[in-house]
Amino acid sequence: MPLFKILEEYGCESLTHVSDRASGLSALIAIHSTGRGPAFGGIRTLSYKSHNAAITDAVRLAQAMSFKAAVADLPAGGGKAIVIAQPGMKRQQAFKALGRAVARFGGNYYTGLDVGTTREDLYAVAENTSFVARDLDFGKATARGVMAAIKAALMHRHEDDEIKGRRFAVQGLGAVGSELVTMLHAAGGEVIVADTDAKLAAEVGEKMECEVVSAARVLAADVDVLCPCALGSIFTAANADSLRCEIIAGSANNQLATPAAGSALLKAGITWVPDYVANAGALIKGVREHEKGGEVPFSVVDQIYDTTLELLKRARKEKKPPHVIAEAIAQERLA
**Among 5, 49, 68, 80, which one carries the catalytic annotation?**
80
Q: Rounded distance, CA 203 to CA 223, Å?
A: 22
**How much is the average pLDDT of 212-236?**
93
Domain boundary among 115, 135, 155: 135
Over its C-alpha atoms, the chain yields an Rg (Å, rounded) of 19
**How much is the average pLDDT of 125-148?**
95
Same domain, 58 and 187: no
Does the active-site annotation cover 80?
Answer: yes
Segment 70-107, tens digit of pLDDT:
999 999 999 999 999 999 999 999 999 999 999 999 99
**How much is the average pLDDT of 186-208?**
96
Return phi, psi of residue 15, to 5°. -140, 125
Return phi, psi of residue 35, to 5°. -65, -30
Same domain, 148 and 85: no
Same domain, 103 and 198: no
Same domain, 131 and 225: no
Same domain, 111 and 163: no
Same domain, 116 and 160: no
**How much is the average pLDDT of 107-129?**
96
**How much is the average pLDDT of 257-273?**
95
User: Which CATH number characterizes residue 105's domain?
Assistant: 3.40.50.10860
Same domain, 107 and 146: no
Average pLDDT, the chain: 95
Same domain, 316 and 236: yes
Is the pLDDT at 254 greater than 90? The verdict is no
Same domain, 148 and 129: no
Domain boundary among 117, 135, 153: 135
Domain boundary among 135, 157, 174: 135
Predicted structure pTM score: 0.91
Same domain, 60 and 164: no
Is the pLDDT at 1 greater than 70? The verdict is no
Task: State whether residue 134 is helix, strand or coil.
Answer: coil
| Residues in contact with 214: Cβ distance below 8 Å, sequence separation at least 6, in sequence order | 194, 198
Same domain, 36 and 162: no
Share of the chain above pLDDT 90, in %: 92
Same domain, 60 and 120: yes
Return phi, psi of residue 10, to 5°. -95, 0
**How much is the average pLDDT of 154-159?**
97
pLDDT for 236: 94
pLDDT for 231: 79
Residue range of the domain that includes 265:
139-334
User: Which CATH number characterizes residue 170's domain?
Assistant: 3.40.50.720
Q: How many structural domains does the chain have?
A: 2
pLDDT for 187: 97
Beta strands in the chain (DSSP E): 14-20, 25-31, 39-40, 43-46, 77-84, 109-110, 167-171, 190-194, 211-212, 225-228, 247-248, 271-272
**How much is the average pLDDT of 274-297?**
94
Task: State whether residue 284 is helix, strand or coil.
Answer: helix
Segment 26-63, tens digit of pLDDT:
999 999 999 999 999 999 999 999 999 999 999 999 99
